[in-house]
Amino acid sequence: MKELFLVVHSLCTGFYTTLKHIFRGPATELYPEYKRPLPARSRARIILTVDPDGRERCVACYLCSAACPVDCISMQAAENPEGRRYAAWFRINFGRCIYCGLCEEACPTAAIQLTPSFEHADRDILKMVAEKEDLQVDHCGKDPNYNFYHHAGVADAIRPKGGHVNESPPVNVRTNMP
Amino acid sequence: MMPNLIIDNKKIRVAKGTRVIDAAESAGIYIPRFCYFAELGAVGACRVCAVKFIDGPVEGIRMSCMVEAEDGMVVATDDAEAVDFRRHVIEWMMMNHPHDCPVCDEGGHCLLQDLTVAGGHGIRRFAGKKRTYADQYLGPLISHEENRCIQCYRCSRFYQEYCGYTDLGVMGIAQRIYFGRYKDGVLENPFSGNLIDLCPTGVYTDKPSRYTGRRWDFERTTGVCTTCGLGCSIMVSARYRQVVRLEAAFSRAVNGAFICDRGRYGFSWVNSENRPRQGRVAAKAMAPQKAAAAAAGRLDSLAEQYGAGAIAVAGSGRSSLETLAAWMDLCRRRSWRGFFFDDLAAAPAAPAAVSGLSPENVVSMKAVESADMILAVGADPLGEAPMLALAMRQAWRAGAKVFAIDSRDLEWPFEFQQVVAEPHEIVDLLSGIEPENEIGGNAGKHAGKMAAIQDQIRHSRFPVILCGTAIVDQSTALAAAGLVKRLRKNKKDTRLFYTLPKANTFGGLLLDHRVQPPDELIHAMESGEIKALVAVESDLWQNCTDRDLLERALNGLEFLCAADCMATELVSRADIVIPVSSVYEAGGIYVNQEARAQWSAPAHAGGTPVRITGAGGHPPRVIGSAIPGGDMPGAWQAAWQIAGLAPPAGPGEMLEWMTKTYPVTAPVKTMAAQGVRIFPLQ
Amino acid sequence: MGLWLTGYAILMIKIAVILTGVLLLAAYLVLLERKLLGRFQARIGPNRTGIFGLLQPVSDGIKLLTKEDVIPQGAHRRIFLFAPAVVAATALLTFAVVPMGPDLHLGGRKIPMVVTDMNVGLLYVFAMASLSVYGVVLGGWASDSKYAMLGSIRGAAQMISYELALGLSIVPVVMLAGSLSLVDIVDAQAGRPFILVQPLAFVIFFLSAMAESKRIPFDLPEAEAELGSGYHTEYSGMRFGMFFLGEYVQMQVLGALTAVFFLGGWRGPLLPAPLWLLVKIVLVVTAMIWIRATLPRFRYDQLMGLGWKFLIPAALINIVITGFVMVGI
């Protein structure tokens, strides 16, 4: 008897709960009319950021393209006049991208970052293929301080050997003479 | 006695003198190492191959590369103490290692990187400063980034001990140990490229392919080096439709673990912008197939006009065996004037190599290292087949005596005694060497030195006679074979080694021993007997000494067709150009100087490199599955196209056709990884 | 002859009116269900096509008609094409015996507000309900798909189990009305609807009928979570639409039969008779949507247990009690 009561009671509670929702009103936000501000870390369109000193962060190390599970990133590394490794070209096929963010995690220089901007669908598949110019921005993105070349330990036109964080001056053949 | 030992609970039986690190590897247990390299021996410098000896003659933590396997040893590679030891070794190596993996070309195939990750080291705990080094300019082929060094000594050991060059080495003390040259400058060692392969991290990296890509992005396959006749194994890396880098691939029989710089860097022609990539008929570009059809038409009408004897084919030993077979057979079937073999200009004595070698007296290059007496006649290994010089040096290091009979001023990286004799004198000198009697023949003023050579041969266990084919003539090469025969008859295990100029010089002569030298071709062209020439991967200009004559001869031609993957002089003069795919795209069989046929696998599918189609920038923005410039036929396919026939459907059918048409090539069907030796049918 | 022709014309008109009404209602029931479910789940539901999404059924129809009609490679072609029609047709045919109102007198002619007043109307209803399962079974079998096959097997088993309870639950109603004709049953409720005298029969009928029409929580034959879409997994385009249509027509059938058997059919004060029937149908359907929004799907053994161990015994007991009460009276 008590069991029957329990069954009826729980059934009624269930029906009452669903009924209550009818009068609660919808929680829906109508998308194109209202655009919810997304958190900075939400993952959509990919950008290539710059160092705090305004230089390209990307060193074309191929780690993002290796991490990419759908092979949508391709690039060619080269050396620029400052002696830095950079991407001669850098292409992301957004038609393939699944916005998983693994490229951002793989990036050792904080260059490649995902942004909340997601409205770039297109019917022309070629318009979804972004080249380096389309990806580059002039800010540091989510990491405003990191500068890979302060720590790298490789010499370039800006920073000589021994000029990086926590380095002693360079040794050469002559300084080794007794 | 073969020692029995236990490594990681596996019972292992190895040859006496095997080091524990190798014993473990033979059982499939990989012990980490930085400094140890089988060819260079052990020095115990890096301390990362530490394992725990639990029981046996030695106990405790020891370096597995420094301990020889002995009976009763019980070794644990995964002992907690050993693992901890190795982890600390890696951590203190990383103390000074720069934070530059993203911009380092070694990243991705870096031994240090792999072991650091394997050892679990992530964050540098040491708060002190990192030592840095000034880098040096080491020439156009090798980049130097000394910061990355972990002091394994592989480079200096290879450079000075293995190769015998002294301009690079180790300097300094304590924290300031420096590996480099005494001053900036181009490395003198013609094997210096191996430093790139040897360095366990990125101190020495490949300069021509700097920043081109990561190893994981490369299409990699083992191929055969086509630079000289040795047929060394190479690892071809290709990316974005161009060959990026060649490295040494391990070959037990041919080159061991190294290759020379000529082989390593001699491939830039394949990526060249000048390389013929489109068919050309009288300065008009068209598809290769259409160019071949146009050439077929011209040849047919010329044959009608002048007779089939007015048409000739020029080929060379840089073609694959398939290509040579296809064109030789075409020549024969069409009753054309003949197949002229370019290599005979570079190596007039080459036919002797095919007739002189036999399964009994042939020797692999790796086996040359175990010779205890080497006599080189008319051969300059360092210039003609550099890896042979390295093999000779290893023999010399092991105590072999080296002699040379040559007129040239030879410079080899080991000690040798030279009999300075003109090439025409060598026949007499060789035939004078007798296994038992006094020195015979007319040695003349060389009698003393020749007697010493003969004496040395008599007292040696495993002498090798090295014979060049470039400066000597056939009689000398046959005299070398005769000498070997005499010695062998006298129960002396003597071996014969010829040097040949091209990867398939042996193969071409194997298919047809009567191929004609290019001189005859040039004379026939000049006299007007030959009206049309089809040059297949051959450049008459390269080996021609009388270029005025060649100029006149070519001007006398009515029709010149070139099927080539290189931008040669003949290609630029040809009326019709048929571009063909290179060895890296089509693959092919190459028979080296010791009759070893080896398969060179294609590294990529071919096509115009992205670097060219994209003009240095990003690839063209088009969608499609067709490969730009991917319609080039293999050079063997062009033989059928030019005859207006459909070529065999694929490499498999081609092999079938070749072995049927040229029964001498039948052994290639059972080719193993190490290749198979082919000798002429008796 | 003229008389016969007039009768025929009247019949055609009746059929046309009922078909149009039923199909139109089916389309908008879909919208009603989606809208209501949306509100139950604090959403809006379809609102993009037309004002309040009122044109949604039209756009759905256009979509279904223009979509590719995919036939799987291994399917039994003829049966695969035929099965959806069975489901839709049997559901529509049931409406032939549902009375829409009292007899109409036009120009001295008595026109019954039912397509055909069969004296075995009830049996006809059951016959049609049983036939509809053929569509499910054949469609699932002909698809050559494991999910569809499993769905159709479940459909057949469920049908057999609940057909019994459905039939037995109506017996007291027939006993009270003394007729198998649906018109007579409605007439018998002139005083009071049977729901008041037969509440247990109502509950059993309602549950079994819901199971017959494969509504949540009895939608095991199409269980999306386990079987993709069950028996119609492989269907697309308008053939899928036919299954869909059949399901919503069946909901109306269920609403109409519940009204006829227990809620007094078209009877009601003030409003015209067909409108009362419509109101009652919509009420029953709304209740079913509410149930769908509240209850999860049964487990298979629970479904069988409910049918065999509870509904059938309860229906039998109800018949006996009804009999005793009637004899006692």
Q: What is the mean pLDDT of chain B?
A: 93
Encode pLDDT of B5-54 as tens digits. Answer: 999 999 999 999 999 999 999 999 999 999 999 999 999 999 999 999 99
**Cα four-point dihedral sign B474, B475, B476, B482:** positive
Alpha carbon distances (Å) from C187 to A52, C175, C192, C209, C322 = 88, 14, 10, 22, 19
Q: What's the domain range around A76?
A: 46-145
User: What average pLDDT score do residues B503-510 get?
Assistant: 95
In a domain, B618, yes or no: no
Report yes or no on B264 lying in a domain: no
Is it the case that residue B437 has pLDDT exceeding 80?
no
**Interchain pair B217, A65: CB under 8 A:** yes
Residue B415 lies in a domain: yes
| pLDDT range class, residue A86, cuts 50, 70, 90 | very high
Across the interface, of C41, C44, C295, the residue whose CB is closest to A21 is: C41
Please count the other Cβ atoms lying within 10 Å of the Cβ belonging to residue B455. Answer: 11
Q: Is the pLDDT assigned to residue B590 strictly greater than 60?
A: yes
C39 in contact with chain A, both atoms CB, cutoff 8 A: yes
- Separation of alpha carbons B73 and B4, rounded Å: 8
Q: Tens digits of per-residue pLDDT, B447-467? A: 888 889 999 998 999 999 999
pLDDT at C293: 87
Tell me, yes or no, whether B267 lies in a domain.
no
Q: Looking at the structure, do residues B372 and B489 belong to the same domain, yes or no?
A: yes
d(CA B373, CA A107): 57
Mean of pLDDT values over B90-110:
93
Give yes or no: residues B405 and B457 share one domain.
Answer: yes
Q: Give the pLDDT confidence score for residue B532 in this predicted structure.
A: 95
B450, B404: one domain: yes
Res C238: pLDDT: 85
Paired tokens of B343: 């290599």
Domains identified in chain A, total number: 1
Touch B-A: 3+ C-beta pairs under 8 A: yes
Q: Is residue B71 part of a domain?
A: yes
Last residue of a domain, one of B179, B206, B233: B206
Of the candidate ranges B96-105, B254-263, B405-414, C262-271, the one whose mean pLDDT is the lowest: C262-271
- Give the Cα separation of A148 and B102 in Å (integer): 10
A167 touches chain B (CB under 8 A): yes
Which residues pair with residue B672 across a beta bridge? Answer: B675
Separation between Cα atoms, residue B385 and residue C76, nearest integer Å: 72
Instruction: Give the CATH number of the domain where residue A56 resides.
Output: 3.30.70.3270
In chain C, positions 136-155, which contact chain A (CB-CB < 8 Å)?
Answer: none
Q: CA of C36 to nearest chain A CA: how many angstroms apart? A: 8
> What is the CATH number for B157?
3.30.70
Domain region containing B188: 101-206
Residues in chain C, pLDDT under 70: 1, 329
> CA B149 to CA B195: how far, in whole Å?
13
Give the pLDDT of residue C189: 80
Shortest distance between the Cα of A71 and any Cα of chain B, in A, equals: 11
pLDDT band per the 50, 70, 90 thresholds, residue B440 = low
Would you state the pLDDT for residue A31? Answer: 87
The yes-or-no verdict on residue A173 having pLDDT over 60 is yes
Across the range B157-184, mean pLDDT stands at 91
Identity of residue B358: S
Chain-chain contact of C43 with A28 (C-beta, under 8 angstroms): yes
Q: Do C42 and A25 touch (CB under 8 A)?
A: yes
Same domain, B460 and B516: no
Point out the domain boundary residue: B206, B230, B251: B206
Of C42, C294, C295, the CB nearest to A26: C42
Residue B439 — pLDDT band, cuts 50, 70, 90? Answer: low
CA-based radius of gyration for chain B: 28
**Ranges B229-233, B620-624, C135-139, C172-176, most confident:** B229-233
In terms of domains, do B372 and B490 share one? yes
Chain A environment of B173 (Cβ under 8 Å): 176
Residue A46 contacts by C-beta under 8 Å, 6 or more apart in sequence?
A92, A94, A97, A103, A104, A112, A113, A114, A115, A130, A135
| A28 to C44: CB separation less than 8 angstroms, yes or no | yes
What are the tens digits of pLDDT across the range C14-71? 888 888 988 888 888 889 888 888 888 888 888 888 888 888 888 888 988 898 888 8
Instruction: Note whether residue A124 is domain-resident.
Output: yes
Encoded tokens for B172 = 């300094």
Distance CA B315, CA B568 (A): 13
My answer on whether B559 and B572 are in the same domain is yes
Q: What is the mean pLDDT of chain A?
A: 91
**C302 interfacial to chain A (CB closer than 8 Å):** no
Q: Are strands B73-76 and B50-55 parallel, antiparallel or unpaired?
A: antiparallel
Q: Please tell me whether residues B28 and B163 are part of one structural domain.
A: no
Give B371 or C145, the one with higher predicted confidence. B371
**Sequence letter at residue C251:** M
Question: Are B370 and B434 contained in the same domain?
Answer: yes
How does residue B219 score in pLDDT terms, banded at 50, 70 and 90? very high
Beta carbons of C101 and C274 less than 8 angstroms apart: yes
Residue B219: inside a domain: no
Determine which of B196-200, B571-575, B660-664, C99-103 has the lowest per-residue pLDDT on average: C99-103
Same domain, B355 and B322: no
Q: Which residues contact B283 (CB under 8 A, 6 or more apart)?
A: none
pLDDT of residue A32 exceeding 80: yes
CATH number of the structural domain spanning residue B525: 3.40.50.740
- Residue B24 CB partners (closer than 8 Å, separation 6+): B7, B8, B12, B30, B31, B51, B64, B75, B77
Residues in chain C: 329
Is residue A73 a part of any domain in this protein? yes
Q: Which residues of A touch C (CB under 8 A)?
A: 14-15, 17-19, 21-22, 24-28, 30
pLDDT at A177: 64
Residue A176 pLDDT class (50, 70, 90 cuts): low
**First CA to last CA distance, chain A:** 101
> For residue C158, what pLDDT is reported?
87
B167 touches chain A (CB under 8 A): no
**Residue A7 falls within a domain, yes or no?**
no
The percent of residues in chain B predicted with pLDDT above 90, rounded, is: 85
Predicted TM-score (pTM) of this structure: 0.81
User: Which pLDDT band holds residue B442 (cuts at 50, 70, 90)?
Assistant: low
Residues B119, B78 within the same domain: no
Query: What is the rounded distance in angstroms from the CA atom of residue C121 to the CA atom of residue C175?
Result: 15
| Count of domains for chain B | 4
Indicate whether B36 and B107 sit together in one domain.
no
Q: Is residue A174 part of a domain?
A: no
User: What number is the ipTM of this complex?
Assistant: 0.88
Domain co-membership, B77 together with B145? no
